[in-house]
Amino acid sequence: MSEEMISITNVSKKFADLNLFSGLNLSVNKEDIIAIIGPSGCGKTTILRMICGLEKDYSGKIKFEGEDISEITVQDKIGFIFQKPILFPHLNVGRNILLGCKEKGDKKFYNQIIERELEFIGLPGFEKRKVESLSGGESQRVALARALLANPELLLLDEPFSSLDVSSRRSLATETRQFIKSRNKTAIHVTHDEEEAKIIADRIIYWEDLLEIKKSNDDKQ
C-alpha cells in the first residue's frame, strides 16, 4: 500500500469577502506525480502556496507525512518551480544550479556536481553560459536541476511551461516526468493544459472534483 505524503481536508480560502474556494480535499501518495487542471484564477497556485507554508490564512487541515503543516517547517522539504524560472543573472548557469546544493566540498567537487546535473537535464557544456542567453525551455531545465539538487521530498510545479510554445511544452513535460521519476520524487503539477497533464502525470485531477465532496454534501442539505 502506498504511503500518503500530502493530505488536504476540507480546506477553504477567502480573500477579504471573496470566497476563493471551499471544502477542498486532496490526497497525494509518495512518488506519485499528480496534475491538477483548472482555469486561471480558481486557486491552483494558492493551494501550492498553502502546501509549502507560504499561505497560512485558511481553514481546514493540511498534513505533510501525517503532521499538520501549521506545526512544522516544510520549506526545506519542498521544491517550487514557478511559471517563470527564477534564475540569477549575475551568476552563470553552473552557479545557479549550485544554489540548490546542500553539501560542502572543494571546487573539484562542485564542478563534478554541475557537470552531472547538466548532463542529467540534457545541457552538457552549459556551465559557463549566461542565463540571459538561455531559451525558455533551457531556463526551466536549469531551474528544475537546481530544485532537484536540493533533494526535496515534494516538488510543486506552478504552470512551469505556460510561456513556451506547444511543441516545447510537450517536450519539456516529457523530460520533466523522466527527471522526477528517475529520482523517485513526489510532485504536484498545476496547469490549464490537459494534454500537458496527460504527459507528465500519473493521475489527473480536475479542480472541480477537488471540491466535489463539499458540493455533494451541500446538495443533500
pLDDT in tens, 46-95: 999 999 988 889 999 999 999 999 898 898 899 999 888 889 999 999 99
Residues making up the chain, counted from first to last: 221
Over residues 18-30, mean pLDDT: 92
Q: Strands 4-15, 33-37: parallel, antiparallel or unpaired by DSSP? A: unpaired
Residues 6+ apart with CB under 8 A from 160: 81, 82, 83, 85, 140, 143, 144, 176, 189
Q: Please choose, from the candidates 66, 62, 67, the residue with its C-alpha nearest in 3D space to the C-alpha of residue 47.
A: 62
CATH of the domain at 197: 3.40.50.300
| Maximum Cα–Cα distance across the chain | 66
Q: Are 119 and 99 in contact (CB under 8 A)?
A: no
State the pTM of this model: 0.88
The type of residue at 4 is E
Domain count for the chain: 1
Give the rounded distance of the alpha carbon of 150 from its chain centre: 13
Model pLDDT, residue 19? 85
- Residues 85-127 have pLDDT tens digits of 889 999 999 999 999 998 899 999 999 999 999 998 999 999 9
CA gap 31, 131 in Å, rounded: 31
Strand partners, 186: 154
165, three cell numbers: 510554445
Nearest to 100 by CA among 153, 147, 154: 147
171-185 pLDDT per residue, tens:
889 999 999 999 999
**Containing domain of residue 153, as a range?**
4-220
Extract long-range pairs of 48-56: CB within 8 Å, 24+ residues apart: 48/80, 48/156, 48/158, 48/188, 48/190, 50/11, 50/13, 51/6, 51/8, 51/78, 51/154, 51/156, 51/188, 52/78, 52/80, 52/156, 55/13
pLDDT tens sequence across 141-158: 999 999 999 999 999 999
Reported as a pLDDT band with limits 50, 70 and 90, residue 212 is low
Whether 218 has a pLDDT exceeding 50, the answer reads no
Residue with cell 513535460: 173
Give 215's contacts (C-beta < 8 A, 6+ positions apart): 23
